Structure 1
Amino acid sequence: MSIRLMIADDDLLISESLKIILGMDDDFEIVACVENGLEAVKICMNEKVDIALLDVRMPIMNGVEATRLITQKTNTKVLILTTFDEDEYICDAISNGAKGYLLKNNSPDKIKNAIRTLQDGNSVVQDVILEKIKTGLNTTVDNEIDKSNFTKRELDIMQCIADGLSNKEISGELFISEGTVKNYITSILNKTGLKHRTQIAIYFLKGGRL
């Protein structure tokens, strides 16, 4: 079954290019292309959209606010696809529920793979974006996170996620199975009320805040 996509970008050249590139792949079905965040929200509320590709800066409603409404009101997953990598956009978009954040200069194959990753229930944040999050936050976990809320192993898992490690890499780093890693991540999500691992990374790096 094809992954149903919605593209929101006020640059028609970009949106049409994405529509053509993604539409040529049998894995994807383009539901709609829109030019602002408000239209994106309406499409996701009225159509079955698996993944919404949102730009950040758009008229009427930006991609960050659209992300908040889409994730609150629908089951659509949001992938931010933008040229902007300012810290405020990154943190706000992820805080609002975006499960992926990529820059537009990525190859079509990387964008396609990111979409498939989100559809499989995982999150994707480009390395350069994760590095900006890590270097831009001037808090330290030792001083600010309340360690009493978590086991030592959960804190280890959170550190690994913040370092950008995959579940498989965490498994190798901590000498535990991938299934055990997933169980710890589920426990962390339940304790924090967060929705996915990328939010865990920011929560950890910001000393217990998102």
Structure 2
Amino acid sequence: MAEFQSPIRVLIVDDQHLVRSGFTMMLSVEDDIEVVGDVANGELGVAAARELRPDVVLMDVQMPVMDGIEATRAIVEADLGRVVILTTFDRDDYLFDALRAGASGFLLKNCEPEQLVDAIRSVAGGHALLAPEVTTRVIAAMIGQRRSAAGRSANGPNSLGSPDQLSRLTERELEVLTLMARGRSNAEIAKELFLGEATVKTHVSNCLAKLHLRDRVQAVVFAYEVGLIRPAESPAHPRG
């Protein structure tokens, strides 16, 4: 997962003009971020993504014409950019649907400016990010939905995996996975395990590949499902 080369091209999709203007002003002071467009609904967002080829799309959920979930699915399926969902989190089901649609990040609209900037940089670099306020609820709900759908344990057909899969990992990779699932960044993992960041990145990539996981969000879900970490060990935002 290579670091992203600037400038990071950002498209803003939100039906509120003031929100779009506010985000544009907020991001305009960052030397490595360029807002290439802003539109008012998901349909326009898909069209703009196809035309502008942004690196990151900041996506609202509740919008007219086409909502953020449908737009996210279309953008991800066509590989038009990586999506960060911005939500007030008043509809859990929207958030979970957006995760299944392939969104790479989730933030609350009242997040601090540095959180938004960090999210854009992380997602542009190929990582996934969840706001600390929503992580536990997202994970708990996803696991609950899988268990309900399976009609039995979390090892049912809809789960990401089983504890047996941990045997695929080396001892060091298991340590990295545990810390990653607790929300540690690559830099934090490197410091805790006395490793270089490049080495940590390699271990992270190996963990995701061996366990057939798409990103760090799925790694957190997997860690919960197999009992590697417990809900009490609430992670911060999965980030890289």
Into which bin does the TM-score normalised by the smaller protein fall? 0.7 to 0.9
Provide the rounded CA distance (Å) in 1 between the counterparts of 2:67 and 2:225. Answer: 24
Contact 1:51–1:77 under 8 Å retained in 2: yes
Does 2:169 match 1:151? yes
Contact 2:50–2:80 under 8 Å retained in 1: no
Instruction: Name the SS for the 2:102 alignment partner.
Output: coil
Give the one of 196, 202, 207 matched to 2:221.
Answer: 202
Question: Are the structure 2 counterparts of residues 181 and 92 from structure 1 closer, same or farther at C-alpha, using a change threshold of 3 Å?
Answer: farther
Tell me what 2:182 maps to: 163
Deviations 1:45-86 (A, max 9, x none): 121211100011112222122222212212512111121264
Contact 1:10–1:59 under 8 Å retained in 2: yes
Provide the rounded CA distance (Å) in 1 between the counterparts of 2:199 and 2:46. Answer: 36
TM-score by length of 2: 0.72
Question: Are the structure 2 counterparts of residues 69 and 203 from structure 1 closer, same or farther at C-alpha, using a change threshold of 3 Å?
Answer: farther
Contact 1:56–1:84 under 8 Å retained in 2: no
Provide the rounded CA distance (Å) in 2 between the counterparts of 1:162 and 1:89. Answer: 23
The total of aligned residue pairs comes to: 207
Provide the rounded CA distance (Å) in 2 between the counterparts of 1:200 and 1:41. Answer: 28
Question: Are the structure 2 counterparts of residues 92 and 111 from structure 1 closer, same or farther at C-alpha, using a change threshold of 3 Å?
Answer: same
TM-score by length of 1: 0.81
Deviations 1:24-60 (A, max 9, x none): 4443322221111121111111212111000111122
Provide the rounded CA distance (Å) in 2 between the counterparts of 1:206 and 1:92. Answer: 19
Q: CA deviation at 1:157?
A: 3.7
Deviations 1:5-29 (A, max 9, x none): 1100111221122123223444332
Provide the rounded CA distance (Å) in 1 between the counterparts of 2:93 and 2:13. Answer: 20
Provide the rounded CA distance (Å) in 2 between the counterparts of 1:163 and 1:108. Answer: 23
Give the one of 121, 124, 139 matched to 2:126.
Answer: 121
Tell me what 1:107 maps to: 112
Instruction: Name the SS for the 2:54 alignment partner.
Output: coil
AA aligned to 1:183 is T
Q: CA deviation at 1:187?
A: 2.4
Question: Are the structure 2 counterparts of residues 86 and 188 from structure 1 closer, same or farther at C-alpha, using a change threshold of 3 Å?
Answer: farther
Does 2:10 match 1:5? yes
Question: Are the structure 2 counterparts of residues 177 and 30 from structure 1 closer, same or farther at C-alpha, using a change threshold of 3 Å?
Answer: closer
Contact 1:130–1:164 under 8 Å retained in 2: no
Question: Are the structure 2 counterparts of residues 13 and 122 from structure 1 closer, same or farther at C-alpha, using a change threshold of 3 Å?
Answer: same
Contact 2:139–2:220 under 8 Å retained in 1: no
Give 1:1-210 correspondences, 5 Å limit. 1-84=6-89, 86-136=91-141, 137-138=143-144, 144=155, 145-149=161-165, 150-151=168-169, 153=171, 154-173=173-192, 177-206=196-225
AA aligned to 2:164 is S
Unaligned runs of 5+ in 2: 1-5, 148-152, 156-160, 228-240
AA aligned to 1:47 is L
Provide the rounded CA distance (Å) in 2 between the counterparts of 1:158 and 1:85. Answer: 31
Question: Are the structure 2 counterparts of residues 134 and 16 from structure 1 closer, same or farther at C-alpha, using a change threshold of 3 Å?
Answer: same
Provide the rounded CA distance (Å) in 1 between the counterparts of 2:170 and 2:139. Answer: 21
